[in-house]
Structure 1
Amino acid sequence: MEKEKLAENTFIGHLLELRRRVLIAIIAIFVGFLVSYPFSKSIYNILAAPLIAVLPKGSHLIYTSLPEVFLTYVQLSLISGFVIALPVVLYQFWAFLAPGLYEHERRAFFPLIFASIFLFVGGMLFAYFIVFPNAFRFFTSFSGSDITAMPKVDSYLALIVKFSLAFGLAFQIPILIVVLVRVGILQVATLKRSRRYAFLICAIASAILSPPDVMSMVLLLIPMYMLFELGLFFAARIPTPKPVVEESNDEDEQIPERSAADEMDAAEASFRNENGDDQK
């Protein structure tokens, strides 16, 4: 009963700690939202720059419902507030997990967080500066005298957020490979032999995640496969944990194995000794 009560108290304590950490993270995001909202229009103009730069002359962004622009600015402020509060959110996540980790797990886990953030931001910047200008230039090339490009404000925001997140997640490939190799789910030798399948998976993922044109697919496929090779490079240089060999005190396991003939000779000798003792 005491053990059950102690386990229940421990579980409730973890839940209360989790609630406190989540509440702090939500407050930080709300504060980031309040800070971001006065600059929401400027932030949107920055995000719309790749499209505006390639729009035909006379074309511009439009909105078809009265609250559309306001709701777009609110959504953009929430996203920006989350980015501003990201250090606080990650710290709360780390503070909740750290007490349950071993020292070597903390040393391995902490650098992965920073590397993951760096790659995620790098993926979004790659999409903004490289993929979006080329993709939007391709899409607006179909505009002519009888067809005019006039994208909607909320549709454009949904598009850039969707594909920015997709590129940010695609850039997590090195982290994923290192973690899977580190925990022993994958082997470096197996990954090296499966490069052709990795290239095929990257091609399928790039076709799904990128905007629907060949140029954007290629622009995502190349860095994805390069990131796969980068993850393979680092995974090959990280020592994998050695399996723990349990020591046994069983004397039978310490005795070297004997052949069947030896066992029969030993049994026969034992039988003769027993008979000799009985005759005496």
Structure 2
Amino acid sequence: MNFVLKTILEEVRIRVFWILICFSFTWFTCYWFSEEFIFLLAKPFLTLPYLDSSFICTQLTEALSTYVTTSLISCFYFLFPFLSYQIWCFLMPSCYEEQRKKYNKLFYLSGFCFFLFFFVTFIWIVPNVWHFLYKLSTTSTNLLIIKLQPKIFDYIMLTVRILFISSICSQVPVLVICLLESKGVKTFIKNRRFFIVFSLFTAALFTPPDIWCQIVVCLPIYLIIELTIFYALIIQVYKRQLAL
């Protein structure tokens, strides 16, 4: 027992060491190219068909905070696949062959959903969000002039928040599939009201205190859950037909 525990602790120590090394190297690289990452995050705003697509800084340390925050967030996004791979390598040897196949499918599904939601959000959703917000920040009359001058740090944090919400939504199908396999479709359907509460709670936790923002986030999460349940029902009926 002591030998097994020592082996596990040694394995954990080695993997944590490599994760820290990779984190340090990745963060340094992201900080070195932090200006390029800020440009990528600001590109949806810069592509708006307006002349005043620029940013301002109102504090002396705001530029430094923007660079450090952007590099740290980019580091976590780049480090996430490596971290997932290390966890996968640590857990897979203790699983049976059927469990490995099931976990491999969930692992690939998680990665596919993550990158799909990320690119769709960055390419399509973020530009439309900023187009909508920019239109609201301009006036159509000369009686009152409102001119948007966004702060770079606020813009980066809002964009990252949108991407983070998208990343959470991308893992909802994986979570629902795991619950379906463990408790069954019928139990999942009977307790559907709890997932409505889960959608509302997630939207309230990760969005600004605005009812419209919470509705916009809550509806996609619950829609993804319903589509996953519908897909599970189709698979269940298909397996029953094959069994007959």
TM-score, reference length from structure 1: 0.68
2:137 is aligned to 142
> Does residue 47 in structure 1 map to residue 44 in structure 2?
no
Counterpart in 1 of 2:170? 171
| Higher mean displacement: 141-150 or 170-179 | 141-150
SS of structure 2 residue aligned to 1:183: helix
For residues 72 and 19 of structure 1, the distance between their equivalents in structure 2, rounded to whole angstroms, comes to: 33
Work out whether 1:188 is the aligned partner of 2:165: no
1:158 alignment partner AA:
M
Pairing 1:256-271 to 2, within 5 Å after superposition: none
Give CA deviations for 1:87-118 in whole Å, capped at 9, x if unaligned: 33222111111222222211111221121122
Contact 2:56–2:152 (8 Å) recurs in 1:
yes
Distance 2:79 2:195 in 1: 35
CA 1:47 to 1:198, structure 2 compared with 1: closer, same or farther past 3 Å? same
1:20-99 equivalences under 5 Å are 20-54=14-48, 57-58=51-52, 60-99=54-93
For 2:156, give the aligned amino acid: L
Larger Rg: 1
Q: Does 1:232 pair with 2:226?
A: no
Q: In the alignment, which of 116, 122, 129 is matched to residue 110 of structure 2?
A: 116
- The amino acid across from 1:232 in the alignment is I
Q: How much has 1:72 moved relative to structure 2?
A: 1.9
8 Å Cα contact 1:72-1:154 kept in structure 2: yes
Give RMSD over aligned pairs.
3.1
- Partners in 2 of 1:73 and 1:163 — Cα distance? 19
Q: Which ranges in structure 1 are unaligned for 5 or more consecutive residues? A: 1-6, 240-280
- Structure 2 unmatched ranges of 5 or more: 238-244
| Alignment-derived partner of residue 254 in structure 1 | none
SS of structure 1 residue aligned to 2:149: coil
CA distance in 1, matches of 2:124, 2:206: 15
Report the equivalent of 1:266.
Answer: none
More helix by share: 2
Cα drift, residue 176 of structure 1: 0.9
Give the 3 Å change call, closer, same or farther, for CA 84–167 of structure 1 in structure 2. closer
How many residues matched? 230
Distance across 1 between alignment mates of 2:79 and 2:177: 27
Contact 1:56 1:143 (C-alpha < 8 Å) held by counterparts: no
Say if 1:200 and 1:10 are closer, same or farther in 2 by CA, change over 3 A: closer
- Equivalent residue of 2:56, what SS? coil
